[in-house]
Chains A and B, each alone.
Chain A
Amino acid sequence: MAPVAQVPATDSGEKSRASAGTLSDKRLRELFREMLLIRRFEEKVEERFRAGDLPGFLHVAIGQEAVASGVCEALEPDDVIASTHRAHAHTIAKGTPVNAIMAEMYGKNEGCSQGYGGSMHLYDVARGNMGANAVVGGGLPQIAGAALAFKLRKEPRVAVAFFGDGATNTGAFHESMNLAQLWKLPVLFVLENNGWAESTPATQQLPLAVEEMGQRAAAYGMTAMEVDGQDLEAVVEATRSARDHAVSGLGPVFMNVRTYRFTGHYVGDPQVYRDKSEVRQLRETQDPLELLRARLGMTGEEFERIDADVMAEVDGSVAFAQAGTDPDPQDALKWVYAEGSMEHGSKEPLSTEPRA
């Protein structure tokens, strides 16, 4: 088992940027492509939303791509995640095809939630995505429960909760942290610490500095890690260590993943609360794609080739979604209740149904 360091909460984690990774050059390039796919997907849904194509409202994760890709890279296929309102990146990283996600944005039958969920309720249970949650902190206790199921059945699986710094102020967060540590549940609490709760900066909603958030784990006696969320390799390595720790029965791990939201809270957010130069500077110095590209020594030509490939995939997803079928309005009532019985004595491993 890889050791997990109890990193002091005051450690900025900057040193991890220089981490020598164990990922092959080939795999890193594949992950670069995935991160670029997330970026281009987010840019595309912004564009289609502003064009009036997409109902509802959207939250994009531009700037946070390495967290989603890095965490999911370190997971096994049977591991499960719960996502947040800012869900597209996690869902792509957990393996859902962009066609199914884009179709969900358009409210089509072909969507990953068949048009019942939308941007904030992306599900893909077969791929271990227990759902994105539009209530801040709402998914955390359920991740503890999923981990409890794994522990009771002695399955070597972990359950991963993504959440933002805003969620750490909810009762659901604290009750889940307490329960998971008390019962040594195999949970990874992945704090995507971007320093904003919607429009409210950390200084107005957290009594701790962003780099001190590991203290919230310390309060429960939980192992905490400081992670540079702009460094893909650092995220992968940290998550692997955390997973090893959790799955071996030592209990949950809290990952304070420092990251940056390059955009507003939602698409269309004028960001009156934020200095424009701050965003510009972040994009210049903290872009996880640029950092990985430099690390790989990627030529302009190679980048252009990958980008063209990614753009074709994203454009294809829009075409796929636009050609999708609208749900029958009356099908809104289709899934309110499950039929049948769980049958005494039956021991089916999962209560999920295969997707059509």
Chain B
Amino acid sequence: MPELTYREAVRDALSQAMRGDDRIFMMGEDIAEMGGSMGVTTGMVAEFGSERIRNTPISEIAIVGAGIGAAIQGMLPVVEIMYEDFLTISMEQLVNQAAKHRTMSGGQIKVPLTVRTQGGAGWSPGAQHAQQLESWFVHVPGLKVVFASTPEDVRGLLWSSIYDPNPVIFFEHRTLYPIKGEVPDEIVPIPLGKARVHLEGTDVTVIATGRLVHESLRAAEEAEQDGISVEVVDPRTLSPLDSETLIASVRKTTRCVTAHEAVVQGGFGAELAAVIQHGAFDYLDAPIERVGAQFAPLAFAPVMENFCVPHAANVLAAIHRTLARA
């Protein structure tokens, strides 16, 4: 099996899809010659031309809105919002328009739009370039929400998102772009709404997304040295959620930690906790622990940033808290 970085895996999904399908084109800020602010689309304008790899003005309303309109008219647009913090600017188009056309029209319209974006801390960007806002979109019926954590997953999930007949908000994590991983020779589409069990265990389930999948796997390694068997599950798609897999895991382990980089309050972990307590109430041996960022706009100084966002140590501490009650 070939090895790709997460960045290359995103590019591979985009390029392979575009090669065989004239309906797909991309729009975003600096995605053409510059290759995007994260270098994801490097080289794509040379292959596909500037009609299909379109540099846009700094106009997040128009980028998303034009993507919606083109999608309604039969295209499969992939738009890039450079930082997920800037999704806030396109919120009206995402929430009131993309998500609602199908229902408001009584099923006359499909919006097969993919909105790629990225974010995450770990490089001192300050408070406006590092948020994790995925939970906002989980609250909106009509949108699908994907957050991939490995090269294999990001490639297979992006492919499925492009071909999904609904608007998909596709989150990538900045610090994951350079990580390497094996991918299948051919792109294997990963269905939206299917979780992935990264590590099987028996004592506690950690449900993690994005960068925290990797932090949780590190925490699991350390826990193992203390004789604690940790199961790590990544939902991968936040909406629709593979509740069945998550509940089955917690029924088996009887303990649950949720882990994401977004702030804890109102974060996706709250939804997970609700789903788990309902589906595995009689099985739980401890309150569900939630790991996430401190409830503060992210401070610039590296020492403060490091304090605010969660790491493997925070996940490990949460694991121990669930076991302390046994």
Q: Are A and B interaction partners?
A: yes
Binding site for B on A (CB under 8 A): 80, 111, 113-117, 121, 123-126, 130-131, 133, 135, 138, 140-150, 152-153, 159, 171-172, 175-176, 178-179, 182, 334-353, 355
Q: Are A141 and B141 in contact (CB under 8 A)?
A: no
Among residues of A, the one whose C-beta sits closest to the C-beta of B65 is A141
Q: Are A114 and B107 in contact (CB under 8 A)?
A: yes
Q: Are B65 and A172 in contact (CB under 8 A)?
A: yes
Q: Are B20 and A339 in contact (CB under 8 A)?
A: no
Bitwise, B74-115 to A at CB < 8 A (1) or not (0) is 111100000000000000110011000111111111101000
Q: Are B57 and A114 in contact (CB under 8 A)?
A: no
List 23 A-B residue pairs with CB atoms under 8 Å apart, sorted by A's residue number: A80-B73, A113-B104, A113-B105, A121-B104, A121-B105, A123-B105, A124-B108, A138-B97, A141-B61, A142-B93, A144-B66, A152-B25, A152-B70, A172-B62, A172-B92, A175-B57, A335-B107, A340-B165, A341-B164, A341-B165, A347-B23, A349-B74, A352-B109
Q: Are A344 and B109 in contact (CB under 8 A)?
A: no
Please report the C-alpha to C-alpha distance between residue A341 and residue B162 in the assembled complex, in whole angstroms.
Answer: 9
Minimum CB–CB distance from B170 to chain A (whole Å) comes to 15
Give B124-179 interface residues, CB cut-off 8 Å to A. 141-142, 144, 160, 162-166
Asked whether any CB of chain A lies closer than 8 Å to the CB of B42, the reply is: no
Q: Are A335 and B59 in contact (CB under 8 A)?
A: no
Contacts of B110 in A (CB 8 A): 338, 351-353
Among residues of A, the one whose C-beta sits closest to the C-beta of B108 is A125
Among residues of B, the one whose C-beta sits closest to the C-beta of A345 is B20
Contacts of A80 in B (CB 8 A): 73
Asked whether any CB of chain A lies closer than 8 Å to the CB of B72, the reply is: yes
Interface size on B, residues (CB 8 A): 51
Contact status of A138 and B96, CB under 8 A, knowing A117-B104, A143-B69, A172-B61? yes
Contacts of B28 in A (CB 8 A): none
Contacts of A153 in B (CB 8 A): 74
Minimum CB–CB distance from A41 to chain B (whole Å) comes to 20
Contacts of A144 in B (CB 8 A): 62, 65-66, 69
- Top-4 shortest CB links A-B: A141-B65, A145-B69, A114-B106, A142-B69
Please report the C-alpha to C-alpha distance between residue A123 and residue B62 in the assembled complex, in whole angstroms.
Answer: 22
Contact status of A343 and B106, CB under 8 A, knowing A141-B62, A149-B75, A182-B57? no
Q: Are A131 and B105 in contact (CB under 8 A)?
A: yes
Contacts of B52 in A (CB 8 A): 152
Q: Are A337 and B166 in contact (CB under 8 A)?
A: yes
Contacts of B104 in A (CB 8 A): 113, 116-117, 121, 123, 131
Bitwise, B43-65 to A at CB < 8 A (1) or not (0) is 00000000110001101011011
Contacts of A338 in B (CB 8 A): 102, 110, 112, 165-166
Asked whether any CB of chain A lies closer than 8 Å to the CB of B212, the reply is: no
Among residues of B, the one whose C-beta sits closest to the C-beta of A120 is B104
Minimum CB–CB distance from B71 to chain A (whole Å) comes to 7
Which residue of B56, B62, B74, B96 is within 8 Å of A351 (Cβ)? B74
Q: Are B51 and A152 in contact (CB under 8 A)?
A: yes
Asked whether any CB of chain A lies closer than 8 Å to the CB of B67, the reply is: yes
Contacts of A339 in B (CB 8 A): 165
Q: Are B69 and A351 in contact (CB under 8 A)?
A: no
Which residue of A114, A148, A347, A348 is within 8 Å of B70 (Cβ)? A148
Minimum CB–CB distance from A39 to chain B (whole Å) comes to 26
Contact status of A117 and B105, CB under 8 A, knowing A341-B163, A344-B20? yes
Q: Are A146 and B72 in contact (CB under 8 A)?
A: yes
Please report the C-alpha to C-alpha distance between residue A7 and residue B74 in the assembled complex, in whole angstroms.
Answer: 36
Which residue of B66, B142, B160 is within 8 Å of A148 (Cβ)? B66
Contacts of B67 in A (CB 8 A): 145
Q: Are B62 and A149 in contact (CB under 8 A)?
A: no
Asked whether any CB of chain A lies closer than 8 Å to the CB of B186, the reply is: no
Contacts of A141 in B (CB 8 A): 61-62, 64-66, 68-69, 93
Contacts of A138 in B (CB 8 A): 92-93, 96-97
Asked whether any CB of chain A lies closer than 8 Å to the CB of B282, the reply is: no
Contacts of A179 in B (CB 8 A): 56-57, 59, 62, 66
Asked whether any CB of chain A lies closer than 8 Å to the CB of B190, the reply is: no
Please report the C-alpha to C-alpha distance between residue A348 and residue B97 in the assembled complex, in whole angstroms.
Answer: 23
Please report the C-alpha to C-alpha distance between residue A124 and residue B104 in the assembled complex, in whole angstroms.
Answer: 11
Which of B25, B103, B163 lies at the interface centre, i.e. has the most chain A CB atoms within 10 A of its CB?
A: B103
Among residues of A, the one whose C-beta sits closest to the C-beta of B165 is A338
Asked whether any CB of chain A lies closer than 8 Å to the CB of B244, the reply is: no
Which residue of A150, A178, A340, A345 is within 8 Å of B62 (Cβ)? A178
Q: Are B103 and A176 in contact (CB under 8 A)?
A: no
Contacts of B108 in A (CB 8 A): 113, 123-126, 352-353, 355
Which residue of B59, B106, B107, B109 is within 8 Å of A175 (Cβ)? B59
Q: Are A342 and B112 in contact (CB under 8 A)?
A: yes
Asked whether any CB of chain A lies closer than 8 Å to the CB of B226, the reply is: no
Minimum CB–CB distance from B108 to chain A (whole Å) comes to 4
Asked whether any CB of chain A lies closer than 8 Å to the CB of B22, the reply is: yes
Minimum CB–CB distance from B137 to chain A (whole Å) comes to 14
Q: Are B165 and A176 in contact (CB under 8 A)?
A: no
Which residue of A336, A341, A343, A344 is within 8 Å of B142 (Cβ)? A336
Q: Are A142 and B105 in contact (CB under 8 A)?
A: no
Minimum CB–CB distance from A301 to chain B (whole Å) comes to 42
Asked whether any CB of chain A lies closer than 8 Å to the CB of B271, the reply is: no
Minimum CB–CB distance from B320 to chain A (whole Å) comes to 40
Which residue of A143, A344, A351 is within 8 Å of B21 (Cβ)? A344
Minimum CB–CB distance from B167 to chain A (whole Å) comes to 10
Give B11-49 interface residues, CB cut-off 8 Å to A. 17, 20-23, 25
